Amino acid sequence: MNAKAHTVYKTRAGERVPSVTTILSLLNKPALVKWANNLGLQGIDVTKYVDILADAGSLAHDMILDYFRGIITDTSECSQDVIKKAENAFLSFLEWAKQRKLEPILVEHEMVSETKKYGGKCDWYGYEDGIKTLLDFKTGSGIYEEHAIQLAAYKYEFEEEGHEVEIAKIIRIPRTEDEIFEIKAWKNLSKQAEIFFHLRDIYELKRQIKER
């Protein structure tokens, strides 16, 4: 699949700011290292396996967001293996979605925090069974600490824009039989937000050192 262009985020004054994911790249991800090591022990080519799953995850993610937009996802440049895994993930999402009332207000909404100087794009904001909910859809081997930190950064941006967030959730969609459907929800992400703001400060300090 063709890689998507990175979004450039700017404040209202035109100042370019880093994205949430760029800032979170400062964190180590030991769980992913362990997962890749386990694949290697099974004799699986990690590079090829990860590429296929990543493409399937990206396509499934597009399918979910396009479902809310009311459009059909273009799969013309995807292999049949990738399409099959993505469709399996999408069907899992549909099973979850049909059991609740989902009323989207914003889908893949781009935001910039004017106070903290960073940009982000969260998947879904709206009413889930009448509750103002922030959803981020993940396809991967698990829900990790950095995902909650990422969600906290998005929640802060939404609230800065004036949108009330009663609950924030990560929905993990399985792509293969050895992955599971998983949901984690938070009403309070203040500690995770605090971690993210410290990371934002560290990012800025590293940038200043690099530019000297």
Question: What are the tens digits of pLDDT across the range 125-175?
Answer: 999 999 999 999 999 888 999 999 999 999 999 999 999 999 999 999 998
Q: What is the mean pLDDT of residues 44-60?
A: 72
Q: If you average pLDDT over residues 23-49, what whole number do you get?
A: 62
Contact 160, 120 (CB under 8 A): no
Which is more confidently placed, 201 or 179?
A: 201
| Structure-token pair, residue 156 | 């802060």
pLDDT value at 78 more than 70: yes
The per-residue pLDDT for 210 is: 86
Q: Please, which residues bridge with residue 127 across strands?
A: 103, 132
Task: Provide the 8-state DSSP code for 42.
Answer: T
Write down the residue that tokens 């296929």 correspond to.
52
Count H helices and E strands in the chain, helices first: 6, 7
Q: Report CA-CA distances (Å) from 148 to 17, 19, 58.
A: 21, 16, 20
